[in-house]
Structure 1
């Protein structure tokens, strides 16, 4: 498993993976050295490029190979998260219904919280049924930033 680090507006991001795909993407709260682009392992270069494009506002979907590790249920939830369109949100309840069990809201929320692929598997697009920003491992301020990045508020003209 190889690791690359990139600077983002939300902090240093660690990308871990190998030729079989990207296994983990996390934002770090501590300070880490960013590796220069020419020092990024070849297996991680496409992920680095696409995440950089995303933060620059030039990408709405990711196409690099994913290889997250988790239970079958977690993978089912993560797969459902991948179906949430860019700039849109859903609720934990809607996600549980989509997965076939309205009573599985807590299990869906727990699997969402274990998502190892920050941003790429868009767990930040899941909000409370009342529209509130609820739990986010990276902090609610990051969730708010990501949602606004993907769907910026419309500036209304005063005239």
Structure 2
């Protein structure tokens, strides 16, 4: 990523006669974990929201920041599923339902500063949920939070 938050996209072309040397092992630790996939999607959307905000695109930045709340609700659903041993979502009324109300405290992401503040809020909430999922996990949110600092600094520059 360059200083003004533009990025360079690189595409790799794999020859059609290429075959993988070994099949993917879906049972390997960390492979196929719904929480791992959710964290990756969250981080991707958070970075895009921040970049859109930095470029002055409040429509897309706000949309993507609101998407982060959805990721957090899915994380809470996964925790409830793990606790109840189901994935059917037939009944509510569990302690996990409080996470929906907790997201109400997030800033409304409709200005550049509000978008970065919402991303910070949602990132901190994600960290809480990840600690519940795996108390031994130590997620590193330093790089995305540092990027938000850069976006805020860019926003206050003339």
TM-score scaled to structure 2, two decimals? 0.29
Which has a greater percent of strand?
1
Compare CA radii of gyration and give the structure with the larger one. 2
Which has a greater percent of helix?
2
Q: Which one has more relative contact order, counting CA pairs under 8 Å at least 6 apart?
A: 2
